Amino acid sequence: MSKTVLDKVAIRRALISVYDKTGLEELAAGLHAAGVQLVSTGSTAKKIAAAGIPVTEVEQVTGSPEMLDGRVKTLHPRIHGGILADRRVTEHMDTLSSMDIEQIDLVVVNLYPFVQTVASGASQDEVVEQIDIGGPAMVRSAAKNHAAVSIVVDPVFYPQVISAAAEGGFDLKTRQRLAAKAYAHTAAYDTAVASWTASQFLDEDGDGVIDWPAYAGVALQRADVLRYGENPHQQAALYVDEAAPAGIAQADQLHGKPMSYNNYVDADAALRAAYDFEKPAVAVVKHANPCGVAVASDDAADPIADAHRKAHATDPVSAFGGVIAANRTVTKEMAETVKGIFTEVVIAPDFEAEAVEILSAKKNIRLLALPEGYGRNKNEFRQVSGGMLVQAGDKI
C-alpha cells in the first residue's frame, strides 16, 4: 500500500557529526538562528560549543558515554530510532512516543579520511582505525528515511541547509537528491575499504604471483560533463577515482578550450609513453597512436626542448593536430618550437611562466599541468562486454 508523500518537512532537530569541520561553525550558527536544536558528537560538539552555540552531546541523548576510544557513540536506538522512524506509520510514531525518543529531521555527517590515510603510507592499525562504523550507519539510515529526513555529506551544501532550515525545510525532490549523494558517498567509502582489505593478500605465499582477490571495485565521482564522446553522437563525462594516484583526471588546465573525450584518451596515452623513461622525454600522440617518442641527449642545453624536437622530427606530418606529453617542466625553448605546430594539447608536470605566455597566444591549444604525485594505477581496468579485464599496471 502506498503511503502519503510528505513534501516539505520542517527541520527542528539536527544531528551533526563530522570529521571534516569545514564550515561547521557557520552551519551550526545558521541552524541555531533558524530555531533548530543541535545534537552532536565528540570533537564536533566541542567545536560548536566553543563557538558559543547551544548543543546537546549525544551521550546526553543516549544516556551512555562514548566508549572504546570513540568506536561506539551513536549506535543506539535513541539515535537511529529518531532517524529511521517512518512518520507516515502510526505504529512507528507510537513507538517513539512510548520510548520517549525525539525525531531527527536533519543528519549532517562526513566520514573518517580512510582514502587519505591509506595514501599517506600509514600502518595497518592506523588505517583500520579510519574505517568508520557509526558514520556510514547514520548516513544510510537518514538516506533510507529520506521521505522525512534530510542527509547532508558535503560541506559545499551547507548554505542551502541554512536556507532550507529558515524556509520550512527541504522538499521531497531535494531530499531524494541528497539521499542519492549520500548513498554514493558510502558506496565509494565501502569500495575503498573493500579494495584496501583485499590488497593485503595479493601475494600471500610470497612467490611474486598476484593472488587476485574475489572482489575488485572502483568508486568514481563525476568531475565534468564533456561536449561529446569518441564520436559526436555519443554523450560522455569525466569521472575521478579518489583512491587512485592523481593523474590526468585531476590535471589543472592552464589555457585553452575544454578538454574533449579524445583529448583525454590521447593525452593519457602520451603521458604513459613519456613517463616510461627516467630521462627527460617527450611523446607525441594522435588518435591514440604514437607519432614520435624521444629522450634528450645527455649534453643537451635544454633537455626537454631537445626531446621534443627529436620526437616531432620522427613524423612531423602525423604530429599535426596531435597531443604532446613531457615528463619534465615545459621550458620557454620548448614552447617556442611548439607554437609553430598545430597542437591540441600539451601536458606536463609544470610550465615555465614564459612558456605559458608563449603558448597561450594560441587560442585553441590546451595546456594541462599534472597534479603533484602523478603516478600510474596499481591495477588497470579494461571494460569488455559483461565485465572487466584487470591487469597489473605496466611499470618498467
Residue 83 near residue 107 (C-beta atoms within 8 A):
yes
Residues 60-86 as b or e (16 or more Cβ within 10 Å = b): ebbeeebeeeeeebbebebbbbbbbbe
Residue 154 near residue 110 (C-beta atoms within 8 A):
yes
Q: Can 144 be counted among the known catalytic residues?
A: yes
Cα–Cα nearest to 282, from 308, 318, 321, 314: 308
Q: Which of these is catalytic: 3, 46, 279, 287? A: 287
Phi, psi of 149 (to 5 degrees): -110, 140
Distance from the Cα of residue 118 to its chain's centroid: 15
Q: Which residues pair with 347 in a beta bridge?
A: 325, 368
Q: Which of these is catalytic: 144, 181, 257, 339? A: 144
Residue 351 near residue 330 (C-beta atoms within 8 A):
yes
Question: Would you tell me how many other CB atoms lie within 10 Å of the CB of residue 148?
Answer: 20
Residue 142 near residue 151 (C-beta atoms within 8 A):
yes
Residue 314 near residue 291 (C-beta atoms within 8 A):
yes
Longest Cα pair distance anywhere in the chain, in angstroms?
A: 84
Q: Can 287 be counted among the known catalytic residues?
A: yes
Q: Which residues are catalytic?
A: 144, 287
